[in-house]
């Protein structure tokens, strides 16, 4: 089977840095993606890692360690608009995209 684990909620202060972790168990792993979803909206793509290491896109970075079946999303210079749910998702060689249950990020002023 396949499973992804991520914290259900994280709270951080505006302007700070927050890290959202994701561990996964799957066969035929190809890559790890991150998505953001605001309340009432659709998920939107943030980043994708197929190789070990850090990928940076503006204030957001994502890391992958294939040997540890682990990744994280790093959000810097937090803004109130970053309050949302964040999902990690594994892409498998059987072409499925399987999502975790999501992490709700609360940002305090």
Among 62, 71, 102, 105, binds other proteins (CB under 8 A): 102
51-59: long-range contacts, CB 8 A cutoff, minimum separation 24:
none
Tokens of 102: 């999501």
The interface mask with other proteins, positions 45-84, x = CB under 8 A, is x--x-x----------------------------------
Confirm or reject binding of residue 87 to other proteins (CB under 8 A): yes
Phi-psi region of 101 (alpha: psi -120 to 50; beta: other; left: phi over 0): alpha
As given in the structure block, the two tokens for residue 67 are 């040997």
Q: Does 16 bind other proteins (CB under 8 A)?
A: no
Q: How far apart are CA 26 and CA 51, in angstroms?
A: 16
Applying CB under 8 A, which residues contact other proteins?
A: 8, 30-31, 33, 35, 41-45, 48, 50, 87, 89, 91, 95-102
């Amino acid at each position: 089977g396949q499973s992804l684990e991520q914290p259900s909620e994280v709270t951080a202060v505006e302007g700070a840095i927050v890290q959202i972790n994701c561990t996964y168990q799957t066969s035929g792993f190809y890559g790890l993606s991150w998505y953001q979803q605001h309340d009432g909206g659709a998920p939107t793509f943030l980043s994708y890692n197929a190789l070990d290491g850090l990928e940076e896109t503006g204030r957001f970075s994502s890391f992958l360690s294939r040997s540890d079946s682990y990744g994280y999303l790093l959000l810097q210079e937090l803004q109130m608009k970053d309050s949302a749910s964040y999902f990690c998702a594994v892409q498998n060689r059987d072409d499925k995209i399987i999502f975790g249950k999501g992490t709700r990020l609360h940002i305090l002023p």
